[in-house]
Structure 1
């Protein structure tokens, strides 16, 4: 019921009071005329609301952030009484509200088909579909809605991947592991196996060969390629809702893009996600990228740890780390100092700062990091470049 309905009730009460006090028939006529309008209005709304049928097609289960879903709607109803419009309430991925309304006007017993674009501005997993029907009469007295009864479909909006430079890591970029291996006896074999075609004679274990009367070969542990550690900042972002979502998208997309570049270059990738429910994603081949994509699409920015604490935890576990990519929308002196500690421990570090305005003191810290051979890049969260 709208404000007009309550105004009409006041008018009806006034007409009835005047008619009873004066006995004038014109007041009774107006009273019953308005009552008929009231009854016709509610009848038209209810008739339309419970006979309307809406079909929605074109939803895809997975899209990329920034894409638009082209949907096709078919609307039909059998109400002979006129209404102002039929409103379709959609559940849709949106930065401001989880619902959108589409207004449709169609004559009875006729199908109306139209297209509608649903924007997907932010990453995440959403339920999309028709939630409710809303109908309003011609006079604006009643606005009644009901549930559609249709099942909502799950639509995953994946972060967008863009091209980034590979963080080139050499075998000697093994961080602390290089120093630990310096004291190892390289002449000690890790295992012994039977001789295979192509083995060199200097690897043959002659004493064991004479004992077993078959060629036995020493095998040595080969160092694998250094890992790349990608650490996104998952602490809560102090900004307006839409701005925070855009910054979250930028952080996830930078982390995903660098994971893709490193995997395609043959470097194993580890990505700790220290949110309220911590997890760690690890992969060695490009085929493992969907694991990173799915995790970054669903991760929440509710970490109880400050980013400096996360960096400190990473400093304790970089035994096999050759490169580290830090992604954050915050850039403080403590974050810069932790990046320097990582670099001085033998790890190749890249810092990605998500910001649209760089402070003068922050730019000075950026130059200081670059002088220490730390790669630093700035990413505008409101730009797709």
Structure 2
């Protein structure tokens, strides 16, 4: 199933999307101030704030901030102005040349303050596989799974930018058993970055307005300590097995840039309740790739996700909970029908019983210290071709 691929980058700015626009935040390159909003341009990055000030771009005060927080709060009309202007600027290399920074001289920082983090369980194939692994003699799906997007509230303070090392967590693994995690896993996910003003508390966001709150998309790795998670998830949801680190890509791809990637969701039975149905109930056709130490081990298809971005927003607010700029929603592990499309080692190794064979003759059931995981994705681009999203990457360090 595996194949040799070039090793993931281990330093500096993550691989830049070669097509389209994206925004992130970088530091370094000898410029004043600890960080600045930037956009990837080939092997360089564009100082977007400096360009906006020099060229009279829209919302220069927002674009000269040290994070995307102000822009996220400004709402969709401002987002469209900024990305329309930025696309025009990027079409003229001479116009932007004075504001380009060498990628080798900058490092990514977390591009926005994560207000809340909610991780969903939106992929039917992943849910079925997990159910078969843990409940081989029972129904793989819980009775509620096809009626609502199941999720848990994660820990916003442990979301980190791509390239940040991940320290192997420790915790309880069973009765009287504690220590470093023995079953450290990757989860390939799509992350939705939210912004704009929400309805007043107590007023749900309707499905037809849900995408107005989605600023853009990141790739997300919800690192999971499976042995710790299995022991503590009885009966409540994950806590320490998930809360030690969640990695996101440094570049946020705007939702409008993915206009050619919308696809209809898979067939559903039973039909969701009316608040989860409408024209905006559509998914994104992203082809993801997981690499372990540079070797391709899986290609999860995000088009198969059962629950769509608009449904996640509508359901999250259906009890009247308000949104905040910087809210981050994870899709949950993305997996396809074939073994080589499974989005985590829990499924790839079938709970540790079927090791994944690698090209060098070694194998994995779960991650070892020193392993580096890189997740990338592409989507259909406007005008044809493929659009690359920014990668998410992390290396495992030994437990403290």
Tell me the TM-score normalized by structure 2: 0.24
Q: Which one has a larger percent helix, Structure 1 or Structure 2? A: 1
Which structure's CA Rg is the greater one? 1
The answer to which structure, 1 or 2, has the higher relative contact order (CA under 8 A, 6+ apart) is 2
